[in-house]
Structure 1
Amino acid sequence: MSDTTPASTYARTERTTPTRYRDRATWEREAIHAILDSAYVCHLGFIADGAPVVLPTIYARVGDRLYVHGSTGSRPMRGAGAASGLAVCVTVTLVDGLVLTKSAFNHSVNFRSVVAHGTAYQVTDPEELAVALDALVDHAVPGRSGDVRRANAKELAATAVVRLELDEVSAKTRADGADDDDADLDLPYWAGVVPVTTVHGTPEPHGSTTVPLPAYLTDLHGGR
């Protein structure tokens, strides 16, 4: 492996090692990227005025970087604009099933999640910002960034993006069935898993739309 070839796993750190169910954790780069590429919303955590704040927002991955979208006037964007950047924790979660057991205590959720720690910096380079904004659009609908009007100067002035390097990151998953205690197996209650999926509905055109449905939307509706 050459020095420029990324390792297949991210380095384990104290912050990315779970204290419970460590067997569900992975630092595999491919697994982490797959989860990040499948979700739409992340939660951005940081400290503001001495108190924790967690905000939902959209994001996109480009290689080993996360780009997180925001407004130029928002607290995290102002903090990330400082020379020292902003210490953050970014989380992404996908729910795959509701796990119902015969006892209330053992109910659970099948999930895939990613937690990333690090210092976020506001993207100021125009070329990198263009890449980040295209990635944000394409993350939601692949191929869309080439089929829209690009942001003008006024819109760019109101938009901010922060960059987080995926250096300290891990994933955790649960993909198991109902885990009942032996003493509960004969109880007269239903147990099992209710699958949860995200489904794209049929695109609904706006009244001003006169062009045919783009192929990338047909593909999206067919199943991401």
Structure 2
Amino acid sequence: MEPGTPLSPTERSSPRREKERARSGRESLDDVLAASVICHLAVVVDGVPLALPTVFGVDPDGPDEGGTVYLHGSVASRSLVQAPDQDVSVTWTVLDGMVLARSGFNHSMNYRSAVVIGRPRVVAEPGELSHALDLLVDHVVPGRAAALRRPTRKELAATTVLALPLHEASVKVREGDPDDEPEDVAAGYWAGVVPLRLRAGDVVTSADAPGTAVPAHVAARADELR
């Protein structure tokens, strides 16, 4: 996809409510995906709509239109088995703050959110599969994949990876103070924002790895999230 290609290129991916919060640049999508740890895959499974949390990996230069987001799970997962036969959506939400207004009606959240819609495909080519699995691991902790043993044939046979184009995407952002009615502001009630962020605690080494130093890439990731 050309760098200037806007978000929401189709009618079904265009925000309909609170359009002032919509973002048009693809860098805003990159920001939301980089700040997110998990996503939710929305798919109809046996006639029932489900929204399932899962980890993901992103390749902005991937083989699909607009780049590629990768999702993975067990080969026995009904959601991953049935997803390639339908259009699905994947959503991300980064919660940045609780917006406390002067009325319950105007309470809100500061957030960054993204939705991608499309028809996924199963990743079968060995090179792309290996690349996708590395991206999934490295999205959680950059540099982690290089520190691990490679997947076995049995592990690969038990894993399904889906690829979804990033072409049909939308992003919305809410930031700043509460939007209160003028008469509520004049009445002198308090209003404000409680900022929120993902925060890491101290790294805990596994009980069966005593004396093993915490890898530098793990420590760096923890420090980034503190």
Answer yes or no: same fold by TM over 0.5: yes
Give the length in aligned residue pairs. Answer: 218
Q: Whole-Å Cα distance in 1 between the matches of residues 123 and 116 of structure 2?
A: 18
Match of 1:109 in 2: 109
Amino acid at match of 1:217: V
Task: Tell me if structure 1 keeps the 8 A contact 2:8–2:14.
Answer: no
Q: In the alignment, does 2:78 pair up with 1:75?
A: yes
Identity of aligned residues (%): 40
Unaligned runs of at least 5 residues, structure 2: 61-66
Alignment deviations for residues 153-195 of structure 1 (CA, whole Å, 9 cap, x no partner): 1111211110001110011000121111112124464310000
Match of 1:163 in 2: 163
Q: Whole-Å Cα distance in 2 between the matches of residues 27 and 159 of structure 1?
A: 35
Q: In the alignment, does 2:59 pair up with 1:62?
A: yes
Amino acid at match of 2:155: E
Match of 2:194 in 1: 194
| Shift of residue 48, structure 1, vs aligned partner | 2.4
Task: Tell me if structure 2 keeps the 8 A contact 1:96–1:195.
Answer: yes
Q: Whole-Å Cα distance in 2 between the matches of residues 182 and 6 of structure 1?
A: 42
Unaligned runs of at least 5 residues, structure 1: none
1:115-130 equivalence runs, <5 A: 115-130=115-130
Alignment deviations for residues 50-77 of structure 1 (CA, whole Å, 9 cap, x no partner): 3312111111111110001111111222
Amino acid at match of 1:139: H
Secondary structure of 1:30's partner? helix
Match of 1:222 in 2: 223
Q: Whole-Å Cα distance in 2 between the matches of residues 131 and 160 of structure 1?
A: 13
Match of 1:144 in 2: 144
Alignment deviations for residues 133-153 of structure 1 (CA, whole Å, 9 cap, x no partner): 000000000000011122211
How high is the TM-score relative to the length of structure 1?
A: 0.91
Q: Whole-Å Cα distance in 1 between the matches of residues 179 and 4 of structure 2?
A: 35
Secondary structure of 1:44's partner? strand
